[in-house]
Amino acid sequence: MKPVTAEPPLFGRRDPDARGYFGAYGGRFVPETLVAPIEELTAGYFAARADAAFRDELDRLLRYYVGRPTPLYETRRLLEIGGSARRTDDDRSRNPPHVHQERGTGAAASEKHRAADPPIRIFLKREDLTHTGAHKINNALGQALLARRMGKRRVVAETGAGQHGVATATACALLGLECDVYMGSEDMRRQALNVVRMELLGARVRQVDAGSCTLKDAINEAMRDWVTNVADTYYLLGSALGPHPYPLMVREFQSVIGREARAQILEQTGRLPDVVVACVGGGSNAIGIFDGFLDDRNVRLIGVEAGGERIAPGRHAARFAGGATGVLHGTRTFVLQDEAGNIELTHSISAGLDYAAVGPEHAWLRELGRTEYVHISDAEALEGFQMLARREGILPALESAHAVAYTVRMAPDLPAGSVVLVNLSGRGDKDVQSVIEALKLS
């Protein structure tokens, strides 16, 4: 069989409607001062994606700079010693009824299942092996090329876990653009390594002390900057969020993940996966890998949100477990909010999942019944982090560890011989200090 080569993003295959809506979700909810910049961005993006020269340059950089295609790796020992993440009775009550529940927990349940049936095959899409260490570079590079094409000399961005900030700083350094990255002070504390990386790459990291001092507040400040400096500044949004055309742009730039993974799983197994699993904060890595399988109705697509400490206001970031339809940062989607519509505080051990809204296309796909969403607690994510490190020699980002932990939890209930594809969206170097702190407290 012909080896899998890098797959460029696929443009124009699944656009929202003319107003930027995916069903009832999406749209543009922006102040009047941003209407003209958003229209300029929309025209610029649609022109760029129709331009073969733009697509070819992006494809070339994805291959030779980012390092695509990223490998697809089949785990060897992840389920070897039981391996189900710990669950309490309270944890069990959190999942929606359509999600499979495990037969038991711990080594005994898993060993019993594996003794009776052939093993489940789990494959990791290794986005942690890209240049900069996460999927974020796919989108950052595409949008930075667009910014240069539109004649913008300066880029502003927001970041939570720091991976989007690092990717943006990297792309700006490569293309000779000025770069300012807004980051909440709490996230700067948690992700100090990435702050240094951004500064070494030439970016100015702007500390945000408002609100919860996390991603939501960083987005607020980045958008304020953009409003003030629209003539020469491009806002490089990092997830499948925000006003149209951002959710579409980000998904299309991240679709390279799903296209590669689909070809790779067919090459290695001769069949499509039964399940695709990805963590969901804003939702860019998940929508990127889901995009390659949306037309395959027999492939389950599962997004894993941050269950935090517990499903209670301010203690989690699982929008589909505790949210409702609302508007945040320019888009209509599922949002964690109180009865008066005020945005709730969120919590997750993973800075990249610590956000009150989810991308509008995810909300739409869930409403259609095409995707499923579950949540994993901080404790379970920590266990998933340690399991992958100790059994496979891979340090995952804490965001990705949510997907790993749910996959291990789900495995005993899958039919014998099932194939599961997990998007390992980033590497965990950035999270080592957070893990050390959390394990000392546990």
Q: Active site residue: 136, 152, 216, 430, which one?
A: 136
pTM of the full predicted structure? 0.90
Summary count for the chain: helices (H), strands (E): 16, 14
Catalytic residue among 127, 158, 305, 383: 158
Q: Is residue 21 part of a domain?
A: no
Alpha-carbon separation of residue 140 from 16, 123, 144, 328 (angstroms) = 21, 26, 6, 22
Q: Are residues 264 and 155 in the same domain?
A: no
286 with 192, same domain: the answer is no
Dihedral angle sign, alpha carbons of residues 27, 355, 301, 325: negative
Give the total number of structural domains in the chain: 2
Per-position DSSP letters for 393-434, written without gaps between them = S--B-HHHHHHHHHHHHHGGGSPTT-EEEEEE-BBSGGGHHH
Of the candidates 417, 325, 411, 412, which has an alpha carbon nearest to the alpha carbon of residue 367?
325
User: 63 — phi, psi (to 5°)?
Assistant: -75, -55
Catalytic residue among 400, 425, 430, 434: 425
- 425 catalytic, yes or no? yes
346 shares a domain with 431: yes
Q: What is the CATH number of the domain that holds 43?
A: 3.40.50.1100
CA angle 73, 78, 82 (to 5 degrees): 160
The answer to whether residues 243 and 354 belong to one domain is no
Q: Report pLDDT for 36.
A: 96
Please identify, among 199, 214, 248, the residue that sits at the C-terminal boundary of a domain. Answer: 248
Same domain, 78 and 182: no
Q: Per the structure block, which two tokens stand in for 25?
A: 């979700």
Whether 288 maps to a domain, the answer reads: yes
| Nearest Cα to Cα of residue 182 among 216, 212, 152 | 216
User: Residue 342: inside a domain, yes or no?
Assistant: yes
Assess whether 84 carries a catalytic annotation: no
Note whether 153 and 227 are same-domain residues. yes
Per-residue model confidence (pLDDT) at position 91: 41
Choose the final residue of a domain: 248, 280, 306.
248
> Which residue range is the domain that position 262 belongs to?
72-131+255-441
Residues 86 and 165 in one domain: no
Which pLDDT value is given to residue 1?
Answer: 52
252 assigned to active site:
no
- The DSSP letter of residue 338 is -
Question: Which tokens belong to 214?
Answer: 């996390």
* Statement to judge: residues 195 and 339 lie in one domain: no
For residue 17, being part of any structural domain is answered with no
Amino acid 104: pLDDT: 34
Report yes or no on 314 lying in a domain.
Answer: yes
Whether residue 6 is contained in a domain is answered as no
Residues 309 and 165 both lie in one domain:
no
Tell me if 9 is assigned to some domain.
no
Q: What whole-number distance in Å separates Cα of residue 275 and Cα of residue 433?
A: 32
196 and 60 within one domain: yes
Tens place of pLDDT per residue across the chain (442 aa): 555 666 667 799 999 999 999 999 999 999 999 999 999 999 999 999 999 999 999 999 999 999 999 999 999 999 985 444 333 334 433 443 333 333 333 333 344 444 444 589 999 999 999 999 999 999 999 999 999 999 999 999 999 889 999 999 999 999 999 999 999 999 999 889 999 999 999 999 999 999 889 888 999 999 999 999 999 999 999 999 999 999 999 999 999 999 999 999 999 999 999 999 999 999 999 999 999 999 999 999 999 999 999 999 999 999 999 999 999 999 999 999 999 999 999 999 998 999 999 999 999 999 999 999 999 999 999 999 999 999 999 999 999 999 999 999 999 999 999 999 999 999 999 999 999 999 985 4
Give DSSP secondary structure letters for 286-318. Answer: HHHHHTTTTT-TTSEEEEEEEEESSSSTTS-B-
102 lies in the same domain as 230 = no
User: Could you tell me if residue 50 is inside a domain?
Assistant: yes
Residues 279, 179: Cα–Cα separation, whole Å: 28
Shared domain for 305 and 393, answered yes or no, is yes
Residue at which a domain ends, from 248, 267, 291: 248
pLDDT of residue 211: 85
